[in-house]
Structure 1
């Protein structure tokens, strides 16, 4: 069997999971279900698949530090390909395919989203091997998840005739997100959820790009030509990448190719696309409640409550979502959680920065020493927290922070002559000495 190269697409901002997920700290890096992020779970899921040669992550410059820190946190390693700009999924996938083909002309790409939740990794790994074998035969294989409910938030696949040994099937049709009645019919008729994850030989996909989107194919090959990795990070050529058309993989290839196949999969899957999906994927108590942070519940059922900031008390309510961040609080009915995107779009239209980044806060300091001349404070930051630091001397005791475009690790000693805004990449602890 050909070597497998998992390619994890690590872009997007997860608007429907506001206020926890924002552009400067998107959902794939948040620990929303369990004690690891969905990105970390994805890396762990793929690294032990039989035949895996190299894990590749495609992301933007702003997310490189997140990727590097979170892979190191779980004892893993990945090659990081950095997009110069976001141009939708097709250019990113094509560039990754060109990179893999340059390493291994027969290599099979396992293309995965970074923000999905799969509760049964062993079943997923078996499905991945099945899909990779079909990919070796020239098919572009998508994972079709067997539905458990008539969901309206996913696209669907209508499977066709069996292929090869029957482990995969033709794709008779890709269909858009249905209304409730149509989703109920799809469930009865054996349609599959379109997970948006794929397996293909790099050479097969690039050949299809040559046919359907030749500018994307040329840009992909051009942006990896002469690519040099430094500490496992390769920055795609900006000029070449900019020539690629902005288009999704679905529109560029999957809805046009004659090589599409679907591998039906029985693993429990969610795209964690909204707060109701987080509730579904979370461990819940006997009353159906899931919570995280400084939270207390009384007489409530089927609620999701999370806080990274203030204490949150919830009494006598059902079927709601409460998400509290230091700078914003969301309260909605679980069934309305898809509408969070509309709220965020409204904030953006008003020019509110809170829609896309976590605003600076200056609290969270514990004073250790206070004299007439200076204060010494111990500051503990949550992952992704952005803080305005005063004129001071900073010693970073634990974690990693980003400040002024530079990334600093534990042990760093900084002197600030002016106030500066810093962001914690993961939890961080600092010793701050400032004049009074």
Structure 2
């Protein structure tokens, strides 16, 4: 077992909990409700789902992943995980999306019936991590805190003032766990000037939505702080159908679950929240601008994928995937995406505004 394995010295397995929800709007038209970004090859030959699975596959102390997804993506989830060289321990199919508190609860109640002390490493399926070894060093630091009953979040050391992420204020060090700090505060997504001020303090990290805690600890805080979520998810799992390949929680029971994130339901209220700051080349790839930043670019500082020619341009992201060929002339700092489902043309600086356009286009193309 290498020193970078998170389970170094651990008594019980760590279960990766991979959350695979999302409507697929922020990278429209490449990402769409039927194929959201976690199922796309945006940063290399593997999809983002497969890269997430690969971060723990084959490492000592880690169990096969538990995946929480929806019926719409059932075939994609199973195939992509197996293509990544893993066999999931369970795939939970949400009857409907109810946000992260409920999604995590489904896996927690399943684990509680098998090993309540097992740790849950909660990871979104559509994030990029360039330095996986630094991630595992952070997990190793976090393990003692999680085993003691604390709820650990990983704070991403910021590289710039970002308005698209929430922030975590890093508090005092936890006396008995080196490298772990109390959470002083959670900060909502700020305007630019506030984001600059937060970065300037040196005490704030991005909130990356990655967590480590035991099933027992999560359920205890869920039942104390968000009992409606706990009651609905417990009932949904009690009435779940397990056909050996997929676990389908009871739809009526799960429909009563409030739609609320783990941050609002638990992390911002509990006294057991702690944070491990980490620099691991993280991004949620949440916009075309973010993708342009992460990808290698040509001599014109542009990116061209597929049947695309960017002539006398600079700073452009041009992607052709199933749509008509694209030729540009003299364009600067634009996003042009051509697919069979739609074509997008916009300034890169407007990447954060794509959701409204994508939703309007999806309504029009769906005939609603």
TM-score of the superposition, structure 2-length normalised?
Answer: 0.92
Partner of 1:134: 145
1:158 paired with 2:166, answer no
2:206 to 193, 213, 224: 193
**Taking structure 1 as reference, are residues 227 and 130 closer, same or farther at Cα in structure 2, changes over 3 Å only?**
farther
Partner of 1:288: 301
CA deviations 1:124-148 (Å, max 9, x no partner) are: 1222232233211111111100001
Higher relative contact order (CA 8 A, sep 6+): 2
1:19 paired with 2:29, answer yes
Partner of 1:177: 189
1:145 paired with 2:156, answer yes
Q: How does 1:257-406 map to 2 (within 5 A)?
A: 257-308=270-321, 309-347=323-361, 351-353=363-365
CA-CA distance at 1:46 after TM superposition: 2.2
What is the distance in 2 between the residues matched to 1:238 and 1:346?
A: 29
Q: Is the 8 A contact 2:165 2:189 kept in 1?
A: yes
What is the distance in 1 between the residues matched to 2:241 and 2:116?
A: 18
**Taking structure 1 as reference, are residues 327 and 232 closer, same or farther at Cα in structure 2, changes over 3 Å only?**
closer
- RMSD over aligned Cα, in angstroms? 1.8
The structure with the greater share of residues assigned to strand is 1
The structure with the greater share of residues assigned to helix is 2
What is the distance in 2 between the residues matched to 1:300 and 1:355?
A: 36
CA-CA distance at 1:55 after TM superposition: 0.6
Q: Indicate the structure (1 or 2) with the bigger Cα radius of gyration.
A: 1
Partner SS, residue 344 of structure 2: strand
Gaps of 5+ in 2: 1-9
Partner SS, residue 213 of structure 2: strand
What is the distance in 1 between the residues matched to 2:365 and 2:308?
A: 27
**Taking structure 1 as reference, are residues 343 and 72 closer, same or farther at Cα in structure 2, changes over 3 Å only?**
same
**Taking structure 1 as reference, are residues 209 and 327 closer, same or farther at Cα in structure 2, changes over 3 Å only?**
closer
**Taking structure 1 as reference, are residues 311 and 347 closer, same or farther at Cα in structure 2, changes over 3 Å only?**
closer
What is the distance in 2 between the residues matched to 1:342 and 1:240?
A: 32
**Taking structure 1 as reference, are residues 355 and 194 closer, same or farther at Cα in structure 2, changes over 3 Å only?**
farther
CA-CA distance at 1:226 after TM superposition: 6.6
Partner of 1:41: 51
Q: Is the 8 A contact 1:289 1:304 kept in 2?
A: yes
What is the distance in 2 between the residues matched to 1:260 and 1:49?
A: 26
CA-CA distance at 1:228 after TM superposition: 5.6
Gaps of 5+ in 1: 357-436
CA-CA distance at 1:344 after TM superposition: 2.2
